[in-house]
Amino acid sequence: MRIREMRKTKGWTQEDLASAASIDRSYIGGVERGERNLTFSVLCQICAALECDVAALTVDLPGRSK
């Protein structure tokens, strides 16, 4: 959800973000719908494309329960 919000703030389509992050557009769509789990390296690619840091997308996310 945060990725979609940041993408839309920039006025980008999923294709724009995918191109800027060198990721397939369908993968970006899956991420935005919560159907895909990101690796840290892909998260970093997306953050670089969106010109934000990882913390901006991960702050206040729920932690793992023990």
Domain that holds residue 11: 2-55
Q: What is the mean pLDDT of residues 46-51?
A: 96
CATH assignment at residue 46: 1.10.260.40
What is the rounded distance in angstroms from the CA atom of residue 35 to the CA atom of residue 65?
A: 21
The model's pTM is 0.84
Q: How many domains does the chain have?
A: 1
* pLDDT tens track for 12-28: 999 999 999 999 999 99
Neighbours of 28 (CB within 10 A): 26
pLDDT at residue 64 greater than cutoff 70: no
Assigned domain for 65 exists: no
Assigned domain for 61 exists: no
